[in-house]
Amino acid sequence: MKERISFCLATAFCIGTIPGAPGTYASLATALAFYQIYRIEYRMVPALHLSAICLITFAGIFASMRVSRRLNDEDPKSVVIDEVAGQLTALLFVPVNFWNLGAAFVLFRIFDIWKPYPIRKLESLRNGVGIMADDLVAGAYASAVLQLANRFLHTI
């Protein structure tokens, strides 16, 4: 039972098992789900958003560790819970609109694939922490760029 729950969480309810680009699919699904939740609860409280990221991160560390050990792979392609946490981080403190959703998605994927310092170094952390940490920092980079872009565009 623990294995099934871990697999379900680590693969973001099996999105990670879709052939092709499971990380991209998980990021897109997260951005779309975030937008739907935002539409329902228009005044999304940043503390709730941050709490969701923390909860997903802690669950993701344990679930991804379990799945990676079971598959004997340090960072299995099917584990995409890290993309969920990273994409949510990219959207943290950013005004919710279609431009920002699209930009957050693209920027997060760029930083996640490019892995500028120290993102690549974080991948070497063990026991699920490395799986989650690099995407969280990629999300933080994307969020920072978006916040700067929004401030710059609003001052013109």
Contact 88, 52 (CB under 8 A): yes
Instruction: Say how many C-beta atoms besides its own lie within 10 A of residue 35's C-beta.
Output: 15
CA 63 to chain CA centroid, nearest Å:
15
Contact 150, 92 (CB under 8 A): no
Q: pTM score > 0.85 for this model?
A: yes
- What tokens appear for 137 in the block? 């920092």
* Per-residue model confidence as pLDDT tens digits over 27-52: 999 999 999 988 887 667 888 899 99
* Per-residue model confidence as pLDDT tens digits over 55-104: 999 999 999 999 999 999 999 999 999 999 999 999 999 988 999 999 99
Contact 98, 154 (CB under 8 A): no
| Separation CA 10–CA 49 (nearest Å) | 20
The domain ranges of the chain are 2-155
